């Protein structure tokens, strides 16, 4: 005889698992059920199988029951954001590198300036506790943050330079003073700079992370909702190997931060007197090829230009040099970063996506 779906539903209702059924096929006396178990435990699935067979044997004794029991795994948002929000801060971008000395802090400073030049409100948190660079790069090493009263609470007011709000452990230590702290103490100091600061309204807060993958990185993603990460590398193989690890860190399940892309710094050398010549001292297109291999966007390449180094040394980021090739390079990287953020951040409201892509001069795809 052929059984009806109502008969099958009745059996499942009696067991209280009607909603667990995903599909049912009936061919004569043959009943094929696809059931989803809420528990991955083998003994729970076995118990469910026995209960189903006994129930059908009692209610539909002539049926030939075939069961396919699977486990439903709750899908995680690929752009899951951890940490509690910072009031007034819309987007938080971590700038990282697997290896030291690749120019991550220089990229952070110039990316901040480029975003500010587009009209965004920008802040920079120097999270490199042991080697802070931002006070020198923004020519404010003698500045000291001061306290302000906000809603009855005492907060730290960041230092401002070139329109960028900046906080760094370098503001709280003498120039010659080494920061010799264990991980928990460094994490605590970082948390104070994040949580006890009055950042005000910011479109972007850039976090200049220390090189490598360690305690500070884990602390950051646990404390604040990182919108995305930018990884900086140079073209040579040894730097690319560490950059790959840096990308892998953000893609770990425990961290799970969208990687907005890779920037290739020191991509080639161009002499000032021969601006059209390119000399690939460290290799050609290494970071670009890595980005293709691991399926993350390539945000752009930055040449070795003497003015970038000089600008960093005197505390005036090179992106401030309007009308130069260097400023245009950083502008393109900033634009590509914004575009990638919009495309990869599924939680971004459509109106916000349109606003920031319009300001950055790129097309909104949300």
pLDDT at 46: 77
pLDDT band for 225, please (50, 70, 90 cuts): confident
pLDDT at 76: 46
Within a domain: 356: yes
Within a domain: 303: yes
Shared-domain flag, residues 59 and 203: no
CATH, residue 37: 3.30.300.130
Question: Which range has highest mean pLDDT (187-201, 202-216, 319-333)?
Answer: 319-333
119 annotated among ligand-binding-site residues: no
pLDDT band for 366, please (50, 70, 90 cuts): very low
103 annotated among ligand-binding-site residues: yes
pLDDT at 314: 92
Q: Where is the domain boundary, 71, 100, 119?
A: 71
Name the residue with higher pLDDT: 70 or 151: 151
152 annotated among ligand-binding-site residues: no
Q: What is the dihedral of CA 94, 95, 97, 101, to 10 degrees?
A: -140
pLDDT band for 181, please (50, 70, 90 cuts): low
Within a domain: 82: no
Shared-domain flag, residues 64 and 95: no
Shared-domain flag, residues 252 and 162: yes
SS3 217: helix
Mean per-residue pLDDT, 88-110: 91
Q: Where is the domain boundary, 45, 71, 97?
A: 71
Shared-domain flag, residues 168 and 268: yes
pLDDT band for 174, please (50, 70, 90 cuts): low
Give the whole-angstrom CA distance, residue 330 versus residue 137. 16
203 pLDDT above the threshold of 80: yes
pLDDT band for 351, please (50, 70, 90 cuts): confident
Name the residue with higher pLDDT: 291 or 16: 291
Within a domain: 366: no
Question: Which residues, at least 6 apart from 118, have a Cβ–Cβ distance to it below 8 Å?
Answer: 331, 334, 335, 359, 360, 361
Give the residue among 209, 15, 183 at the shortest CA–CA distance from 131.
209
Shared-domain flag, residues 129 and 222: yes
pLDDT single digits (tens) 37-80? 766 666 667 777 788 788 878 877 777 766 666 555 444 444 55
At how many degrees (to 10) do helices 306-314 and 104-117 cross?
Answer: 80
Give the residue among 361, 102, 83 at the shortest CA–CA distance from 208.
102
101 annotated among ligand-binding-site residues: yes
Shared-domain flag, residues 161 and 306: yes
Shared-domain flag, residues 301 and 200: yes
Q: What's the mean per-residue pLDDT of the chain?
A: 83
Residue 32 phi, psi (nearest 5): -115, 120
Shared-domain flag, residues 67 and 95: no
323 annotated among ligand-binding-site residues: no
Helices (H), the chain: 5-15, 42-59, 104-117, 134-137, 183-195, 215-223, 237-251, 286-293, 306-314, 325-344, 350-360
Mean per-residue pLDDT, 218-234: 86
CATH, residue 273: 3.40.50.300
Shared-domain flag, residues 52 and 129: no
pLDDT single digits (tens) 243-256? 888 888 888 777 78
Shared-domain flag, residues 95 and 66: no
Question: How many structural domains is the chain composed of?
Answer: 2
Within a domain: 211: yes
**Structural contact between residues 212 and 129, judged by C-beta atoms closer than 8 angstroms:** no
pLDDT at 75: 46
Within a domain: 242: yes
Domain limits for position 248: 89-360
Shared-domain flag, residues 53 and 127: no
Shared-domain flag, residues 54 and 201: no
102 annotated among ligand-binding-site residues: yes
Give the whole-angstrom CA distance, residue 180 versus residue 197. 23
Q: In the structure encoding, which two tokens stand for residue 222, read together?
A: 């646990």
108 annotated among ligand-binding-site residues: no
98 annotated among ligand-binding-site residues: yes
**Structural contact between residues 265 and 106, judged by C-beta atoms closer than 8 angstroms:** yes
Q: Where is the domain boundary, 71, 97, 118?
A: 71
The string of DSSP codes covering 235-302 is SSHHHHHHHHHHHHHHHSTTT---EEEEEE-S--B--TT-TT--B-TT-SSHHHHHHHHTT--EEEE-
């Amino acid at each position: 005889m052929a059984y009806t779906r109502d008969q099958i539903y009745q059996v499942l209702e009696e067991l209280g698992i009607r909603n667990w059924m995903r599909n049912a096929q009936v061919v004569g006396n043959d009943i094929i059920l696809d059931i989803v178990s809420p528990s991955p435990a083998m003994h729970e699935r076995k118990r469910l199988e026995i209960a189903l067979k006994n129930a059908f044997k009692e209610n539909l004794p002539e049926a030939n029951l075939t069961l396919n029991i699977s486990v439903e795994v709750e899908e995680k948002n690929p752009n899951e954001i951890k940490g509690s929000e910072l009031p007034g801060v819309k987007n938080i971008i971590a700038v990282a590198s697997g290896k030291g000395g690749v120019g991550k802090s220089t990229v952070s400073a110039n990316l901040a300036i480029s975003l500010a030049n587009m009209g965004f409100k920008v802040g920079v948190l120097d999270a490199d506790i042991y080697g802070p660079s931002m006070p020198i790069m923004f020519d404010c090493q003698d500045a000291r943050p001061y306290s302000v009263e906000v809603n009855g609470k005492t907060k730290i007011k960041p230092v401002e330079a070139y329109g960028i709000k900046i906080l760094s452990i370098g503001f709280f230590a003498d120039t010659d003073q080494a920061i010799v702290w264990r991980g928990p103490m460094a994490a605590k100091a970082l948390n104070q700079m994040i949580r006890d600061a009055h950042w005000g309204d910011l479109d972007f807060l850039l976090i200049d992370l220390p090189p490598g993958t360690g305690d500070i990185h884990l602390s950051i993603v646990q404390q604040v909702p990182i919108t995305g990460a930018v990884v900086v590398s140079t073209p040579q193989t040894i730097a690319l190997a560490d950059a790959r690890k840096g990308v892998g860190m953000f893609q770990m399940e425990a961290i799970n931060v969208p990687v907005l892309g890779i920037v290739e710094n020191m991509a080639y050398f161009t002499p000032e007197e021969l601006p059209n010549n390119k000399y690939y001292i460290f290799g050609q297109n290494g970071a670009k090829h890595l980005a293709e291999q691991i399926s993350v966007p390539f945000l752009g390449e930055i040449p070795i230009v003497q003015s970038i180094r000089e600008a960093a040394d005197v505390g005036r980021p090179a992106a401030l040099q309007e009308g130069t090739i260097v400023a245009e390079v950083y502008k393109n990287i900033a634009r590509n970063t914004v575009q990638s953020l919009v495309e990869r951040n599924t939680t971004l409201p459509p109106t916000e996506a349109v606003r920031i892509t319009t300001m950055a001069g790129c097309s909104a795809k949300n």
